[in-house]
Amino acid sequence: MDYSAQLIAAETAARKAGAFLRARFHEVHQVDEELAHDIKLRLDKETQALIVESLAAQYPDYSVLGEEGCGAGASADSPQWIIDPIDGTVNYFYGIPIFCVSIALRVGAQTVLGCVYDPMQDECFTVCKGGAPCLNGRPIQVSARTQMAQAVVFIGHGTHDGSGAAGIARFAHVSAQVRKIRILGSAALTLCYIAAGRFDAYIENRINLWDFAAARVILEAAGGACEYTPTSADLLSGSVIAWNGKLPIHAALRTS
Ligand code: IPD
């Protein structure tokens, strides 16, 4: 099955949402919910609604799994859009221009396409399963780095209780072995940067499926690898280790 038409629909929706977010970037944003390590904005919901409206115009029967809630499709086993309207919400709220819109399409157990759009850099990462992963239409691939000593590794500071602390412990452990450690604040963009060969690995203790579903399929198509170990009963959140497929990341993470 060819999903290139659905990828065009996803990119169109992501670019519309991105333009909407870019236009509002300097405004004061309404906070719907404030958690210890997270913020939910009214704009998260508005952006997801805009994306769903755009996608549903062409694919009314597809269901939706999104950070801002779900919508049922016509049938239970219909293809499902997995949407994160703003990945990097805390960055966005604090005026840090590192965030993106993330849209994947899942059919059965397979993610068949991914689109991650960074509106501030106008960078759109895309792939259709079986096709070439691209950044603004140009093919991308992971870095050739094989040694931890050359690597730039990202650590996620998660929003769930305890996962930030676990991230910081890893930060300390891994930082001694690599060239640089970073925390970008957007898991989807981080995975796409690994796909594009800019950085080499990403580790987060607990992350939600919509944060990385689209970027994962882009990274894997670019030669990278991503291990997801669900830790919640609904399988919607878990730990992620993503890398260029070449680094000895597991050995580097071992503490004994
Ligand atoms: C968050 C970002 C962040 C990651 C968190 C996510 P959100 O997504 O991806 O990088 O560390 O675990 O929740 O809440 O901004 O969509």
Determine the atom of ligand 1 nearest the C-alpha atom of 186: 10
Q: How far, in Å, is the centroid of ligand 1 from the Cα of 206?
A: 10
- Find how far residue 146's CA is from the centre of its chain: 24
CATH code that applies to domain 4-139: 3.30.540.10
Q: Are 133 and 127 in contact (CB under 8 A)?
A: yes
Q: How far, in Å, is the centroid of ligand 1 from the Cα of 140?
A: 24
Distance, CA of 10 to CA of 216 (rounded, Å): 16
Task: Please write the tens of the pLDDT for every residue from 8-66.
Answer: 999 999 999 999 999 999 998 898 888 877 788 899 999 999 999 999 999 999 999 98
Q: How large is the average pLDDT for residues 224-247?
A: 92
CA distance from start to end of the chain: 46
pTM: 0.94
In CATH, what is the architecture of 148-253? 3-Layer(aba) Sandwich (3.40)
pLDDT band at 74 (very low <50, low <70, confident <90, very high): very low
Q: Are 93 and 79 in contact (CB under 8 A)?
A: no
Distance, CA of 87 to CA of 45 (rounded, Å): 13
> What pLDDT was estimated at residue 161?
64
Distance, CA of 9 to CA of 123 (rounded, Å): 17
Residue that wins the pLDDT comparison between 68 and 32: 32
Determine the atom of ligand 1 nearest the C-alpha atom of 183: 10
Q: How far, in Å, is the centroid of ligand 1 from the Cα of 229?
A: 17
> What pLDDT was estimated at residue 33?
84
Determine the atom of ligand 1 nearest the C-alpha atom of 90: 15
**Which 3 state secondary structure label does DSSP give 202?**
strand
Q: For 77-146, what is the HEC assignment?
A: CCCEEEEEEEECHHHHHCCCCCCEEEEEEEECCEEEEEEEEECCCCEEEEEECCCCCEECCEECCCCCCC
Residue that wins the pLDDT comparison between 28 and 5: 5
Domain boundary assignment for the chain: 4-139, 148-253
Closest CA to 47 of 104, 124, 102, 98: 102
Residues forming a β-bridge with 127: 114
- Residue 184 DSSP code: -
Distance, CA of 174 to CA of 183 (rounded, Å): 13
Average pLDDT, the chain: 92
Residue nearest atom 15 in ligand 1 by C-alpha distance: 88
Task: Please write the tens of the pLDDT for every residue from 106-163.
Answer: 999 999 999 999 999 999 999 999 999 999 999 999 999 999 999 999 988 766 666 6
Determine the atom of ligand 1 nearest the C-alpha atom of 84: 16
Distance, CA of 151 to CA of 202 (rounded, Å): 11
Amino acid at residue number 128: C
| 33 membership: H or E segment, kind and range | strand 31-35
- For helices 42-58 and 4-23, the axis angle rounded to 10 degrees is 150
